[in-house]
Structure 1
C-alpha cells in the first residue's frame, strides 16, 4: 500500500506542470518531476538539456538537487511525467542518484492522460551500491 495515499493526484498534477518548464530543444523530450519530502513539501524539476549533451540534467535529479539545496534529505515519493502517452521510467543515473536518499522511495510513472504505474526504487535498481556500502570494511 502506498505511503502517499491522498497525495498521488497532487504529485501527478505537479509533475505534469513541471514538464512545461523543460528546456529540451534537442530531443524535444519534455520531462517533469514532483518530489515529495517526508514532511509533505513538494519540489518540482524538469529536464534541462545542453548543446554538450553530457551537460544535460534529468527532471528527477533537478527536483532532488533543488530539495537538497534547501536542506531536505528525507523523501517519500516522486512522480515523473513526459509528453508521451506511455509510462517512462527514470534512467540509470537517476536511479543511482535517488538511491542515495533511500531504496524505499515510491516512484509514479505518469502518462499524459494522468494514468500511472507505481514502483519502489529498490525494485528498479536491485543490488544497488549505496552509502551503506562505504561503511564496515
Structure 2
C-alpha cells in the first residue's frame, strides 16, 4: 500500500498551486475501509490562508465519505526537492483528528518512501484525541 499511496501523492503533487514558494507537495491517504484520497498544496498570496497537501487530502476524504468511514489508516507525503518530507505541525494535528497513534505516515522523496513512522511517534503529545501521545 505504501507504494500505491506514494504514486497517488506524486501524481497529485503535479497539480499543486505553488506560485510563491514553488514548493509542490502531494499527499495521499487510505481509510481503514480501503478508499484512497489525494490532495496537493494550494498557496494563496496571503500565506497563512493556503492549504497543505495533507489538509487537502483530508478534506477530500471528509467530502467523499460518511462519518463512519473517516479513519485514516496510512498517509504518504511527498515534496519536490526535499528528502523525507514530514507533515507540518498543523497537519500532524489534522491527521490526528482522523487517525490513531498507530496510523502510519510514509515520508517520501521524489523517488519513493524513505521512512515510515507512526502518528504516535510523529506527534507524541497530541491533544484532543484519546489514545494518541
When normalised by structure 1's length, the TM-score is 0.87
Given the alignment of the two structures, is residue 51 of structure 1 paired with residue 49 of structure 2, yes or no? no
Which secondary structure state, in structure 1, belongs to the residue aligned with residue 98 of structure 2? coil
Equivalent residue in structure 1 for 2:35, among 34, 37, 41: 41
> Residue 28 of structure 1: CA displacement?
0.4
> 1:85·1:113 contact (CA, 8 Å) conserved in 2?
no
- Per-residue deviation at 1:114? 1.8
Q: Which residue of 2 aligns with 1:26?
A: 20
Are the equivalent residues in 2 in contact too, given 1:107–1:119 (CA < 8 A)? yes
1:82 aligns with 2:79: yes
Give the length in aligned residue pairs: 127
Q: Which residue of 1 aligns with 2:127?
A: 129
Native 8 Å contact 1:48 1:59 kept in 2: yes
More displaced, 23-32 or 107-116? 107-116
Partner of 2:108: 110
The yes-or-no answer on 1:17 pairing with 2:11 is: yes
Query: Following superposition, which runs of at least 4 residues in structure 1 exceed 2 angstroms of deviation?
Result: none
Unaligned runs of 5+ in 1: 1-6
Q: Which residue number in structure 1 is paired with residue 95 of structure 2?
A: 98
Write the distance in 1 (CA, Å) between the matches of 2:2 and 2:36. 11
Larger radius of gyration, structure 1 or 2?
1
How far did 1:85 drift? 4.5
How far the C-alpha of 1:108 sits from its partner, in A, is 0.5
- Tell me which of 39, 62, 70 is aligned to 1:68: 62
